[in-house]
Structure 1
Amino acid sequence: MSRAAKVVTGVAAAAVIAGLVVLAYPAFAALAGLEHPSASAVSSAPRTAAPAPTPSPTPSKDDGSDDCPTEEATISITSKGDSAPTARLVFASSLTDKGARSGARGEVVSNAQGIYSYIVAPNDNLISIERRLCIDYGSVSVFDHVLGSAIQPGAQLILRPDPTIPWIDPHMPFDAIPNVTNTVDYNSTIYEMGAAVRTHDLDTARALWARSLSGHVSPAAQDAATKALDAGDWPVLDQLFP
């Protein structure tokens, strides 16, 4: 089975910048923002008519075999001109649960469209999750703001993004000036926002947004985040700050 990453132009650059951020700011590894929202955060979705995602039983497959399609599912992040990047699932029919196995024993969460997210279990790793669900782990890592390859038990990896919600680059502010803008505070705040959203700490999320993020994301993301923070719209905040 092919393991080639299918992330679109611009995502690879974000991954390189991620590596630089790790070198420049090792304290990120300690931030709770490395984890992602729990499955309970998906249980209420006031902005969408689709049924809330619910955990579904999955088969057990401990032999570690790979039988995914040649074209794996992948999360494609694209933008046109100066518009905000958005993400969508490509080759969605390939996204399927091949069964729990070593390194991928977590819970799969589904909604009306199919598999929605994956809840990380102890000792899980991104490559095994890819083999279990037939989705390119590199694109999952980029979309879900994973720092390096670190995933923590209880973290939620969103696998089916809402293409109407802008994607926020966790490494580079929208208004950054190359070789001029200091991105350290922006980077760390993104991960702090993820922790606040995961725990539904609205006051902290609003304070972090006002302190370091508002005005430094795309106009579309600015509008979406402001409305979601005003309304406490967790399904939207889950995807803006996974």
Structure 2
Amino acid sequence: MSRAAKVATGVVAAAVVAGLVVLAYPAFAALGGIGHPAASAVTSTRPTAVSDPAPSPTPSKDAGSGDCPAEASISLSGQDKAHMVPTLVKADALTDRGTRPGARGEVVSNAQGIYSYIVAPNDNLISIGQRLCIEYGNVALYDHVLGAAIQPGAQLILRPDPSIPWIDPYVPFDAIPNVTNTVDYNSTIYEMGAAVRTHDLDTARALWARSLSGHVSPAAQAAATAALDAGDWAVLDQLFP
């Protein structure tokens, strides 16, 4: 599949997942502007001699073409938005095909296989998806990627625990359409992720109490409250990636 087709497929997939999460979601339009993957096309310049130039070499799959034999995906599903849980689909396809422009970060593994990816400077989601053979749009939605860029040092969870509920980073659970202002909620989700990454428990607890507690699903409320009380970073990493 060509890079253009892959990008189009990723955007459509992300839009479908977002539509399942809530009946009236804001469009996940930021995906199209995430990062700037380096071009891998090989160009040739016609020499001054009469002979034709040598044909340009075709990049191999491991050179960054993005043509994975299969593609993993993070599915967000549930009977309603109060019971949304993440699941890694086609987990066997998740594999590290090597660093490349736009995907030079660290891959973290556990006993089950690849667990997460640590973002390096100048990384972008498209290249990360190609390196690891995972659909990048769903990764962005699950991992609370807000805005137009991923941040160096951020941890993208790629193998979510299906027993830990997903928290919608865009719309509070108790939001009233056309009434609720979501700006403070959205920004606090971003700050909460930063506090969890640095294991700043006091800040995480303060942010939770200020803007998030009571505005997530009952299952997420219970999980986050217990994890914050216990300082359970393994759970907090997945609730607030």
TM-fit CA distance, 1:19: 4.9
Paired position in structure 1 for 2:105: 106
Partner Cα distance (2:27, 2:216) in 1: 17
Q: Which deviations, in whole Å up to 9, do the C-alpha atoms of 1:139-172 show, x marking residues without a partner? A: 1110111113411221111101100000000110
- C-alpha separation between the residues in 2 aligned to 1:117 and 1:214? 27
CA offsets, 1:165-211, max 9 Å, x none?
Answer: 00000110001111111111111111111111111111111111111
Q: TM-score scaled to structure 1, two decimals?
A: 0.77
Q: For the residues of structure 2 that align with 1:98 and 1:151, how far apart are their CA atoms?
A: 21
**Partners of 2:238 and 2:172 in 1: how far apart?**
17
Deviations 1:69-126 (A, max 9, x none): 2x41111011213532111111111111111111111111111111101111121111
| Equivalent pair of 2:17/2:138 in contact (CA under 8 Å) | no
**Cα distance in 2 for residues equivalent to 1:10 and 1:67:** 22
**What SS is found at the alignment partner of 2:63?**
coil
CA RMSD of the aligned region, Å?
2.1
Give the whole-Å Cα distance in 2 for the aligned partners of 1:13 and 1:92: 21
Q: Is the CA contact (8 Å cut-off) linking 1:18 and 1:171 kept in structure 2?
A: no
Match of residue 94 from structure 1? 93
2:240 corresponds to 1:241: yes
Counterpart position of 1:79: 78
**SS at 1:116's partner residue?**
strand
What amino acid is aligned across from residue 217 of structure 1 in structure 2?
V
Instruction: Say if 1:68 and 1:131, in contact at 8 Å, map to a contact too.
Output: yes
Match of 2:149 in 1: 150
SS of residue matched to 2:82: coil
Aligned positions of 1:3-18 closer than 5 A: 3=6, 4-5=9-10, 6-7=13-14, 9-12=16-19, 16-17=26-27
* Equivalent residue number for residue 224 of structure 2: 225
Distance 1:97 1:114 in 2: 10
Alpha-carbon distance between aligned partners in 1 of 2:16 and 2:103, rounded to the nearest angstrom = 28
Task: Compare relative contact order (CA 8 Å, sep 6+) and give the higher one, 1 or 2.
Answer: 1
Residues of 2 paired with 1:179 and 1:122: CA distance?
A: 38
Question: How far has the Cα of 1:65 moved from its partner?
Answer: 3.3
Q: Flag structure 2 segments of 5+ consecutive residues without an equivalent.
A: 31-60
Deviates more, 1:148-157 or 1:229-238: 148-157
Q: Which amino acid in structure 1 is aligned with residue 161 of structure 2?
A: D
SS at match of 1:83: helix
Secondary structure of the 2:104 match is coil
Q: TM-score, normalised by structure 2?
A: 0.77
Residues 18 and 148, structure 1, Cα contact 8 Å, conserved in 2: no
Contact 1:99 1:132 in 2 (8 A): yes
2:128 alignment counterpart = 129
Letter of the 2:112 partner, please give it.
Answer: Q
Identity, % of aligned positions: 73
Ranges in structure 1 where 5+ consecutive residues have no aligned partner: 21-60
The amino acid across from 2:18 in the alignment is: V
8 Å contact kept, 1:127–1:137: yes
- Equivalence for 2:172: 173
C-alpha distance in 2 between matches for 1:231 and 1:157: 23
State the alpha-carbon separation in 2 of the partners of residues 79 and 212 from structure 1: 25
CA deviation profile, 1:26-53 (whole Å, cap 9, x unmatched):
xxxxxxxxxxxxxxxxxxxxxxxxxxxx
